[in-house]
Amino acid sequence: MFSARTAQIQPKSMTPSETSQPAPWHGTTILTVRKGGVVAVGGDGQVSIGQTIVKANAKKVRRLGKGDVIGGFAGATADAFTLFERLESKLEQYPGQLTRAAVELAKDWRTDRYLRRLEAMMIVADKEVSLVLTGTGDVLEPEAGITGIGSGGNYALAAARALADGPLDAEAIVRRSLDIAADICVYTNRNITVETLKAG
């Protein structure tokens, strides 16, 4: 005969990552193109919290400093604005030296206990250089002056590279590439903001 045994199932303890946390607010996609003596930085207008679109016309690209630097962010919106403020402070310390200011910000971002928790990526550009900044301390200059970040960043980047040898100027390439990314990425829409600077 088989004796029946009753198994007691213990409730599984939840790890911090498994407990319900508020979904972060995210904004994507950002693209920069440098061509024909002009640098353009553009972004779409969608901000999502989890799977929900909460804003369709956010401005994720803005001029920084004295207007001679353009910045765009992808990631948590509040975190990105904090980083913009920090970058503007660095630009005041190192006027006309975007690379130096970006490196100093990246150092703080990696080592500061508060900044380390911020979830965003940034593209910044002036007349001389375009850079990508990350929370791991990276300051990267893209090849050929073209790069994209955010959920639709790879789609926009691929489109921009394909269009770069054609007749379109930098701003037109950014607009067309973001439009293509919006066809593919559900976190990207067509409310596009583009800022341009004359490049050296």
Q: Which residues are catalytic?
A: 28
Rounded CA gap, 27 and 83, in Å?
14
Residues contacting residue 18 through CB under 8 Å, at least 6 positions apart: none
In order of 6, 71, 199, the CA distances from 121 in angstroms are: 53, 10, 23
Strand order in the sheet with 38-43: 147-149, 30-35, 38-43, 193-198
Phi/psi at 49 (5° precision) = -120, 110
